[in-house]
Structure 1
Amino acid sequence: KGQILALLSKPAEAVESFDRALSLGAQLPEGTRKQLLHERNVQLERLTAGK
């Protein structure tokens, strides 16, 4: 959890991390994939809002 919280302070890096995780999506359960996609979108919104 600490690693994830560290990522959240850097939205650009967080989005990249979620992108990497989602690129492995075929190996993820559907619910996990949807959660990752949601979290990625939240970070992307933070990133664009911060500009």
Structure 2
Amino acid sequence: MNNSSRLLYNRIPILVSVSTLFNQHMLLELIVSTITSEHQKILTKEYAK
């Protein structure tokens, strides 16, 4: 019982770091897609001239 709970506590930081990395990746994807869509709008305006 004690050994398994210790294993669980050892895994918590790994899970936290993985979820943090995942969240950062999602944020990066969001930023990239926002920039891309804004850039696409600018290009469309340029072509429209």
Question: Taking structure 2 as the reference length, what is the TM-score of the superposition?
Answer: 0.46
Larger Rg: 2
Question: Taking structure 1 as the reference length, what is the TM-score of the superposition?
Answer: 0.44
